[in-house]
Structure 1
Amino acid sequence: MNAIMNFMRRNYKVLLVVAALSVALWSFIPRGNKNDPEKDKLLLELLAFVINKGHYAPKDIDDNFSKIVYKDYLTALDPSKRFFLQSDIDEFSKYETLVDDAIRNKDLTFFDLTYNRLMQRMEESKAYYKDILAKPFDYNVDESFNIDYDKMPYAKSTAELKEKWRKQIKLSTLSSLSDRLKLQEDKAKGIKEEPVADEESDDTEPAPKTTAADEAPKTFEQLEKETRENSLKSLNEYFGFIKDLNREDYFSVFVNTIAETFDPHTSYFAPEDKDKFDMSISGKFDGIGARLQKKNDFTEITELISGGPAWRGKELEPGDVVLKVGQGKEEPVDVVGMRIDDVVKKIKGPKGTEVRLTVKKVDGSMKVISIIRDVVEIEETYAKSSIVKKDGKLYGVIYLPKFYIDFENKDSRDAAKDVALEIDRLKKQGIQGLVFDVRDNGGGSLRTVVDIAGLFIDQGPIVQVKSTGKNKEVLPDNDSKVQWDGPLVVMVNNFSASASEILAAAIQDYKRGVIIGSKQSYGKGTVQNVIDLNQFVRNSATGDLGALKTTTQKFYRINGGSTQLKGVASDVEMPDKYTYIEVGERDSENAMPWDKIDPANYNVWDRQPNFEKAIANSKKRVAQSQQFRLIDENAQWLGKRKDENDYSLNIDKFRKEQENIKAENKKYKAIGEYKTNLEFTSLPYETAQMEKDEVLKEKRKRWHESLAKDAYVEEALNVLSDLQDSGSKPTVNLKKREKLVKS
């Protein structure tokens, strides 16, 4: 742990250097209001300055840089090319090589031009879709629409743009109409509609209540009208969301495009985005514990977070509409029509303070609900475990969604402490092998991953980190205690990134456990620091400037290789739906390159005699598995389908195409119906909690059901079985037994 803290102290100098050099900026004290050009200019200046001084590999801000920003920014503003005209692009084009000059000179001309033009085009487009949806479509016309927006040209005229809108909307309504016609035809044939199943569970949506009018067959004209009405409602909601965005939001898009041109993980956080980032990395926040959703001008409660103040109070309910928000004894503020981000700001607040919500209940009654804010923990963020018996042996499964930590409070829970605790609980149940699942885990704290990897080895290096112009630093586990020394499998997929890759790489290099999953993990081999931009400007009247997350270091495996781009290759490669689709860091245009450095000194784990045999056996099983063969066939089909962008807008041809796709899809239906016949259960402490918490009980039920259908988890358990040394049991290193966590 001392090594980690020393490392953090040494590298804090990166921030101190930036802070020291920023004295020159302190003399610039802007004045302004919310949409303040002076604040925008200051952000441009700070962005260029901080990245130039703090980024691992800063790029020259020149004409080539300008061209990349120009292209990506316009794509971000209008990705489907349904707002700007070619004449707009022609007008913008003179700035293609001038964005670098605009950054240096703090010139907002290009941004102002694009922002004002976008607002104009969006306002004009409202009339387009309303006019298009006012009359029926002719689905007998033989025409088509290509949805490859990258290759699609901008419309040359307003008439051409309206035609593009017409085809886009027609494709959407045609898809909906086809579904409605199929449903009605199936009913006439006595074929019942298949329930809509959650992809991760067996739970199905309850069938909606139907009336006699609903049961009666509808004419084509009635169904066609319904699809247009639904499309109109959706577009109205979309433009309602657009209306909530202000100039600051669009300027954040511009600033972020500049930042991400350096690399995909350098980005600007507006103040509210910084709060969301802090919440995501710690898994908690101060508030009432409710999830909100905007519906037209109203803010609706969609979910209460289990264990939070609102959940404990039992007065606020999903479906309640928030009309007013009051702080303590202050006069409540009307929030109808307010941006949802602004409503959230008013509801959240420091622990121990009171907020009063005036809500309209589902039954139409009005009620004022007083809630005392508290720390709310987002349960989905945290590690969870389960036990399962297979072939007479008991195994444990730990799922870690992210490497969370509270940087403000070292005594708070973090991923390393929680994982160590779950391992301890699993050992008390007598498990003989452990599956550690970091699939879809995008990373998190560097400190916690070093601590977690250390739970599985005696002691030694975990990861190497390098800053520009400095010697590498080795981050070790110096504690000889091993929290778990039995058979270990680490599960990864294409979206296991950053800290997940550090863990998988360390376990693989030590040959401590078997890595199974996708061909390779995500491929993010860089470290970011979040720099508060407010520290560089004193006495500013601009308000909160937000923060910049910038890449300051690269990390390397202890064998010297980088996970950048290449990720971690699984010991046992298992097909999935993304096998033939480029995803991950290698799919990013501005990604940093792969390289390598000298390896660290480490000793391979020598207490797993069946290691190579277990890998070989697993590869054979995967190759012979009918389920994995089917998954691979489906992946090949999806790989081909991703390039098919042309859709007929003729109803007969469209329905024929969809029938062919559905027929092909039926071949792969068995993938979702697969069952392992294994039973996963919670540990005793959690079973007791579920007796008092129905929400937690339902969440665990869904998770256990998804595990029981997961062929990847089943194979992980098979590998654990192969890793068992005949006749031996995992041992527990009793050295420093009282020390549960290495940090």
Structure 2
Amino acid sequence: MKRIVEFMKRNYKVIIVITALSAVLWSFIPSEKKSDPEKDKLLLELLTMVLERGHYSPVAIDDAFSKKVYAKYLDNIDPTKRFFLQSDIEEFSKYETKIDDMIKNKDLTFFNLTNSRLLQRMQECRAIYDDVLDNPFDFNTNENINVDYEKLPYAKNKKELVDRWRKQLKLQALSSITDKQKLEDDKKEKDAKYAVKSFETIEKEVRESSLKSLNEYFDFIQKELTRNDWFSIYLNAIVERFDPHTFYFSPEDKEKFDMSMSGTFEGIGARLQKKNDAVEISELISGGPAWKGKELEAGDLILKVGQGKEEPIDVAGMRLDDVVKKIKGPKGTEVRLTVKKVDGTIKVISIIRAEVETEETFAKSSVVEKDGKRFGVIYLPKFYISFENKENRDAYKDVAIEIERLKAQNIDGIVMDLRDNGGGSLETVVKMVGLFIPEGPVVQVKAPGREPEILPDPDKKVQYDGPLVVMINNFSASASEIFAAAIQDYKRGIVVGSKHSYGKGTVQNVIDLNQFIRGNSYGDLGALKTTIQKFYRINGGSTQREGVLSDIIFPDRFTYLDMGERDEESALPWDKIAPAKYEPLNMNYDGIIANSKKRIASNNYFNLIDENAKWIFERKDENTFSLNLNQFKKEMALSDAKIKKFKAISDYNNKLKFNSLPNEIALFEKDSLLKQKRERWHEDLQKDLYIEETLNVIAEIRASQNGKGLPKKLSIN
């Protein structure tokens, strides 16, 4: 069993289950190669058996399960109800309570029916939108559109479906037209001689733009998505009923997932995108082989791909994923790209593949001065690690290095910015907490039917013992919640941010499905990410659904909305276990927290953010819009007045100066792109009201500690 997503120290029960499954499934596999439907049947059987025997809390695959899969799957493939007709749904409905039986019998009838009908309806809809956009819209009629698609019924017939498309496209056109008219007015205001475009011209441009976008979207659907892609959607409607974090990865998705976890891949270091039937270079990754070679440029079109001395292959019209596969490859090998340059010339560029690091994935730090004190900010987007090669980047090692670099700058405190950090490796976060505490338990992990296992700080060394504040938001999840919870439970620092973090208190393992099949003749079967354990704070509480509650709550846009795990229908419940034996630091932050709350309450910008959050909450159920131009403009004018008021939030500037560390500054001369990225990050920090108040908090911690670090020993019972 392959350990990828979250560190699993020991889980004998799951290993025994997997071994047993292997023996069972080998007997089902014939030696000859089978067609895709046979592979699909195998995947159905394999996934359900692994889930029923290996998931933390398996659910019964019965009629109730079937109904939920049915609803989820249809919502996934037709979320805005613009493809299927009511007659289709009536035909599908006879399978609503039979999907459980069809899973057990490896019956693909429901999938085959819905998939073929979907592709048929999509093809029919191309003619619908093409016809709708061929004529000017009438914006003088009084009609409305309801965009609450969840409650919207399916179109009764073709006429009603055409009308639905017409209204949806008309709403999009209204929004685009009013925006374009504002731009025209702005140009006229700046230049009195500017000839403003007529309404008719703008309206025609908008329809042409919509047609182009829709054609590109449907071309992508037809040319890029295969039956395997659609079947993956069906499989995930099934496996996600177990919990929101159980997920099937197709071979391509598994490769992307591995890359996102490690932050590295082997290739040329270029991002690609589709441009009509061609593949365009959209960006060169700083430090990669293509970037170093200085021949390939953003905007170049790839015409052919050749491996070493082999004859190059024409990639015109090829799926983007297939082109990517041909360009990526083992480090040290050669790929030759025939490209059409921006100036129209054709050029063959030879590139030697190498290991590429996606720099934006990794930890980065900055120094800022405030009121005569210097503070370090470490931004960590995820708890990354490479399981394939321990020499690759590791968030724990990188943060330790950043701490040493910041200490060399004589900083007075560190801010760990974990906002939007979706998690990553459990092993990594346990070690990272250890950078800030001498010793002790960090998190508890529990498998079903077993006693909790306590994962401790692996060493007594303290990398940094000064003032610490952890920033979180609604999208800080999993490993970032473990970090924040441990710092909070030990009273090692203060947690600031959204009312609560995401609330993902479960541990996943990625299981390579190929290991179960002896003599596999079906090709790569992909992998299953499934929940095998839950983790708990050292105080015994779960972060599942509830998340980590901030010591100091910063108002944000989502304050009054239900965000995160608690909003997931299939999320596992909150619970608690006995606390681990640990002793918090003798730190009292009550006065600092109270002072921050007073500053927040009296801050006009924070009050404006709170007002904006209330407005967003009040508008969340507004789903009906007028399609009359004048009425639509009146409605938008009311919204614009509010938006204009709230624009002051985005215009905020804390006037603080953030600086890169000397090691990065030394790289800027050779790497202008890295310099631009850091300047952009610093500009964002200058517009960040939250970072300013966080610095106020850490300055008070520093003052209260009088420059002293942690106690030399942390008492553990």
Q: Shared topology, TM-score over 0.5?
A: yes
Q: Is the 8 A contact 2:468 2:492 kept in 1?
A: yes
Q: Per-residue displacement from partner, 1:384-424 (whole Å, max 9, x unpaired)?
A: 00001111111110000000001122232201001111111
How do 1:457-606 and structure 2 match up within 5 A? 457-606=437-586
- Distance change (3 Å), C-alpha of 1:676 and 1:33: farther
Corresponding residue for residue 38 of structure 2: 38
1:619 aligns with 2:604: no
Corresponding residue for residue 204 of structure 1: none
2:615 to 624, 637, 651: 637
Deviation at 1:13, TM superposition (A): 5.4
Deviation at 1:21, TM superposition (A): 2.8
* SS of corresponding position for 1:542: coil
Deviation at 1:657, TM superposition (A): 1.1
CA distance in 2, matches of 1:216, 1:32: 71
Corresponding residue for residue 47 of structure 1: 47
Deviation at 1:226, TM superposition (A): 0.9
1:374 to 344, 350, 354: 354
Given residue 344 of structure 2, which amino acid in structure 1 is its aligned partner? G
Q: Is the 8 A contact 1:490 1:513 kept in 2?
A: yes
* SS of corresponding position for 1:238: helix
Deviation at 1:553, TM superposition (A): 0.2
Q: Is the 8 A contact 2:262 2:392 kept in 1?
A: no
Deviation at 1:350, TM superposition (A): 0.8
Deviation at 1:32, TM superposition (A): 7.9
2:218 to 236, 239, 244: 239
How do 1:398-409 and structure 2 match up within 5 A? 398-409=378-389
1:442 aligns with 2:431: no
Given residue 707 of structure 2, which amino acid in structure 1 is its aligned partner? K
CA distance in 1, matches of 2:337, 2:495: 50
* SS of corresponding position for 1:394: strand
Q: Is the 8 A contact 2:289 2:351 kept in 1?
A: yes
Given residue 297 of structure 2, which amino acid in structure 1 is its aligned partner? E
1:99 aligns with 2:99: yes
1:714 to 688, 692, 704: 692
* SS of corresponding position for 2:692: helix
Given residue 183 of structure 1, which amino acid in structure 2 is its aligned partner? L
Q: Per-residue displacement from partner, 1:74-117 (whole Å, max 9, x unpaired)?
A: 10010000000000000000100011001100000000000010
Corresponding residue for residue 184 of structure 2: 184
Q: Is the 8 A contact 1:145 1:648 kept in 2?
A: yes
CA distance in 1, matches of 2:528, 2:598: 48
Given residue 217 of structure 1, which amino acid in structure 2 is its aligned partner? V
Q: Per-residue displacement from partner, 1:566-619 (whole Å, max 9, x unpaired)?
A: 00000001110111122110111100000000000001112x45x221111111
Q: Is the 8 A contact 1:355 1:372 kept in 2?
A: yes
Structure 1: tracts of 5 or more residues without a match: 1-6, 193-211, 736-743
Deviation at 1:364, TM superposition (A): 0.6
1:646 to 624, 627, 631: 624
- Distance change (3 Å), C-alpha of 1:510 and 1:352: same
2:676 to 687, 691, 698: 698
1:326 aligns with 2:306: yes
Deviation at 1:9, TM superposition (A): 5.0
How do 1:151-230 and structure 2 match up within 5 A? 151-190=151-190, 215-230=194-209
CA distance in 2, matches of 1:428, 1:485: 14
* SS of corresponding position for 2:11: helix
CA distance in 2, matches of 1:264, 1:650: 41
CA distance in 2, matches of 1:99, 1:630: 50
Deviation at 1:10, TM superposition (A): 2.3
- Distance change (3 Å), C-alpha of 1:258 and 1:348: same
- Distance change (3 Å), C-alpha of 1:726 and 1:18: closer
Deviation at 1:726, TM superposition (A): 5.3
CA distance in 1, matches of 2:636, 2:293: 49
Q: Per-residue displacement from partner, 1:114-153 (whole Å, max 9, x unpaired)?
A: 0010011011101000011111111111111111100110
Deviation at 1:19, TM superposition (A): 2.6
- Distance change (3 Å), C-alpha of 1:726 and 1:47: closer
* SS of corresponding position for 2:421: coil
- Distance change (3 Å), C-alpha of 1:299 and 1:47: same
CA distance in 1, matches of 2:627, 2:529: 45
2:654 to 676, 693, 705: 676
1:315 aligns with 2:315: no
Deviating more after overlay: 19-28 vs 472-481: 19-28
Deviation at 1:33, TM superposition (A): 7.3
* SS of corresponding position for 2:534: strand
Deviation at 1:731, TM superposition (A): 4.2
Q: Per-residue displacement from partner, 1:36-91 (whole Å, max 9, x unpaired)?
A: 10000000000101111110000010000000000000100100000000000000
* SS of corresponding position for 1:724: helix
Given residue 376 of structure 2, which amino acid in structure 1 is its aligned partner? G
CA distance in 1, matches of 2:668, 2:15: 45
Deviation at 1:191, TM superposition (A): 8.0
CA distance in 1, matches of 2:212, 2:646: 34
- Distance change (3 Å), C-alpha of 1:594 and 1:166: same
How do 1:61-76 and structure 2 match up within 5 A? 61-76=61-76
> What RMSD over aligned residues (CA atoms) do the two structures have, in Å?
1.7
Q: Is the 8 A contact 1:482 1:733 kept in 2?
A: no
CA distance in 2, matches of 1:169, 1:57: 44
CA distance in 2, matches of 1:219, 1:728: 68
Q: Is the 8 A contact 2:188 2:195 kept in 1?
A: no
Corresponding residue for residue 635 of structure 2: 657
CA distance in 2, matches of 1:515, 1:641: 30
Count of aligned residue pairs for this structure pair: 706
Q: Is the 8 A contact 1:613 1:722 kept in 2?
A: no
CA distance in 1, matches of 2:703, 2:644: 42
1:251 to 208, 231, 249: 231
Q: Identical aligned pairs, as a percentage?
A: 66
How do 1:110-149 and structure 2 match up within 5 A? 110-149=110-149
1:357 aligns with 2:337: yes
Q: Is the 8 A contact 1:432 1:730 kept in 2?
A: no
* SS of corresponding position for 1:667: helix
Corresponding residue for residue 739 of structure 1: none
- Distance change (3 Å), C-alpha of 1:326 and 1:57: same
Q: Is the 8 A contact 2:376 2:413 kept in 1?
A: yes
Given residue 416 of structure 1, which amino acid in structure 2 is its aligned partner? Y
Q: Is the 8 A contact 1:19 1:535 kept in 2?
A: no
* SS of corresponding position for 2:532: strand
* SS of corresponding position for 1:10: coil
- Distance change (3 Å), C-alpha of 1:32 and 1:299: farther
- Distance change (3 Å), C-alpha of 1:726 and 1:50: closer
Corresponding residue for residue 209 of structure 1: none
Corresponding residue for residue 86 of structure 1: 86
Deviation at 1:169, TM superposition (A): 0.7
Corresponding residue for residue 246 of structure 2: 266
Given residue 238 of structure 1, which amino acid in structure 2 is its aligned partner? Y
- Distance change (3 Å), C-alpha of 1:721 and 1:674: same
- Distance change (3 Å), C-alpha of 1:16 and 1:407: farther
Corresponding residue for residue 4 of structure 2: none
